[in-house]
Structure 1
Amino acid sequence: MGMTFKVAWVLLGGRRRLLKILEKTAFLLENGVPIKEAVDSQYRIARKGGDYLSSEILRRVLISLQEGKTMSEGIKDLLSSDEFTLLRNAEKTGNLVSAIENILRIEKEKREAKKVLREGIVGPVSVLVVSILLLYYIGAKVLPPIISFIGEDSISGVARFIVVLSGIVRLSLFPVAIVLFFAVMVVIFATLPILVGKVRLFLDRVPPWSIYREYTGLIFLISLSVMVASGIPVVQALKQVLPESSPYLRERVK
């Protein structure tokens, strides 16, 4: 990829544009439009509308088709290995529309799984952060005048815990605790796809590792099942899926 194209791909949502092109291409093919004509018509519209990213993607496909190659070869570097395998096999069997539909289906399932992952992890973390900030406010602003009025010795139970928290705040340890908390969160999320071994087997029993385990397993099974259903042997499908998988998934599958 050229540098300009790489920047545009990241900033303008290249993945989304590519899937949209595949979807439109499948629609045109299904309605009897030859693939060269389907791609060329989209290219002309994109270029006329000033859509650099889409026109560049379509231009690559056009060049590939004009050279006697396939659509998948023109956008190989924009596809994952399993997506490329799906398209390549479909082009050989003349079932390109079905392959594109499968790619779109996998993408949809991935988005839904990611949504569940975010809700399962971000939701509880957000509640925890808000609770900590609320306790900070109570300990720093609300409790001090109350304590000075009724005396600290007369407070017990939960109120006593909040008083202790207030003391931590007055000692300026709370900001350190907040920084430490977020640092731990960053480490956890960064290691979700790469932490392996016996430690990971133990952590997989509790969130957020257990949620990530279910998410990763779901995406893997969806991709594998679609490839096998498309006529790709299981061994070949695994060879296509695993190289791009996380170290965690590769360890679990092997």
Structure 2
Amino acid sequence: MTEKRTWREYSESLSRQLALRTFSGNDRISLYDDLAFLLENQFKLADAISTLIISDRSANSPRVYCLQDIAAALTCGMSLDKGLRGWVPEQELLLLGAGVSDGDLAAAIRRAMTIARATKEMRSACSAALAYPCLLLISCLFMVQLVSHRFLPRLAVLVSEDQWQGSLQALAIISRGLSEHLILISVSALVLTGWTLWSLPNLTGRVRCHLLDHILPWKLYRDIQGVSFLLNISALLRAQVKTEQSINQLMQRASPWLYERLEATLQHVWQGKHLGAALFASGYAFPSAETVKKLRVLTAADNAENIIENFANDWLQKTVQRIKQTATMAGYVCLGLNAGYMVLILLSTQDLNNLISVHQ
């Protein structure tokens, strides 16, 4: 019996960990939508959770484990955001916590759902942006290896390498150069990629502010973080959280890069400036130079949270469009490299034919 119980507990723990890993953005959005719908139709939170558990029990989905954690937290007298800890991002927990405090939990869940959808849309756009160019680069490197190890040795049998000229010689130099240093190139690319990924949330200072934030991929990261910040701050302001308190809450879970900008903004909020003026005065051009100029004027009004939310939604669409445009440009560049290499191969075969005809 003990062995069976141990195995059952192990299996349950493994299933829960798997559920945590596979609880996707779509699962989050679906949970928020269903829960908000029930609360808007006068269900109590505990009853709404029980209803969703019963309806999802047969599906054996990650959502069931999430709902069980929420139910356990509610049973212990804790709030919804405490039950969701570990299942959803911290920025969404902030909104849910604010909703618990002001008593309008359904509206807070709807705001969290907006953030989840925006995050999912931007991540999907980024994934699509990277996939096609990477595929083209891999295919180009595969062709280089093929030419270097299969094509060029056979050409050398037909015509001595001493007689190779023009495009044929260029093909040999490029292919062998890349093939012989492929490990070094790959390691360098991995190191550069790793450093770039680390630098996006962590690198701070003047070089980042005045140089890197204006070029890709750091500029794109700034845009994405800017959209997320505006959506979060507008949602917190809508939940009647004061500006300085909202910024403080966002700072608690911010990356070093974002923390640097929020801290500078908070200093000016303490001096009595409204959000737009504080962002402008911080000197970091965050979320962007154009944005802070507009927000400096627009957020002076009483309905600042509505203006920020509308502005954030508009900027979200523009950011996604910029991501897609960047992907298109990167795709064209990689396609151009592939096409250029193919043309070089064709020109090389023509040069080879000319050399063979001369020797005949």
TM, length-normalised to structure 2:
0.58
Name the residue aligned to 1:185.
193
Equivalent residues of 1:144, 1:166 under 8 A apart: no
Name the residue aligned to 2:48.
38
Name the residue aligned to 2:139.
130
After TM superposition, give the deviation of residue 56 of structure 1 in Å: 4.1
Is 1:215 matched up with 2:224?
yes
Match of 2:208 among 172, 180, 200: 200
After TM superposition, give the deviation of residue 7 of structure 1 in Å: 1.6
Equivalent residues of 1:139, 1:162 under 8 A apart: no
Name the residue aligned to 1:238.
247
Q: 5+ unaligned residues in a row in structure 1: which ranges? A: none
- Structure 1 distance, partners of 2:91, 2:154, is 64
- Structure 2 distance, partners of 1:10, 1:176, is 37
- Structure 2 distance, partners of 1:97, 1:31, is 10
Name the residue aligned to 1:93.
102
- Structure 2 distance, partners of 1:166, 1:224, is 52
Equivalent residues of 1:139, 1:165 under 8 A apart: no
Is 1:102 matched up with 2:111?
yes
Q: Which deviations, in whole Å up to 9, do the C-alpha atoms of 1:72-128 show, x marking residues without a partner?
A: 343345444443332233234332211111111101101111123233444434433
Q: 1:143 to 1:237 in 2, by over 3 A?
A: same
Quote the RMSD (CA, aligned, Å).
3.2
Letter in 1 for 2:32: L
Q: Percent identity?
A: 20
Is 1:27 matched up with 2:37?
yes
Secondary structure of the residue aligned to 1:192 is: helix
Equivalent residues of 2:201, 2:256 under 8 A apart: yes
TM, length-normalised to structure 1:
0.79
Name the residue aligned to 2:283.
none
Q: 1:246 to 1:5 in 2, by over 3 A?
A: farther
Equivalent residues of 1:143, 1:163 under 8 A apart: yes
- Structure 2 distance, partners of 1:177, 1:136, is 13
Tell me how many residue pairs correspond in the alignment: 250
After TM superposition, give the deviation of residue 13 of structure 1 in Å: 1.9
Please say which structure displays the higher CA radius of gyration. Answer: 2
Secondary structure of the residue aligned to 1:193 is: helix
- Structure 2 distance, partners of 1:100, 1:226, is 10
Name the residue aligned to 2:84.
75
Secondary structure of the residue aligned to 2:214 is: coil
Q: 5+ unaligned residues in a row in structure 2: which ranges? A: 1-11, 265-360
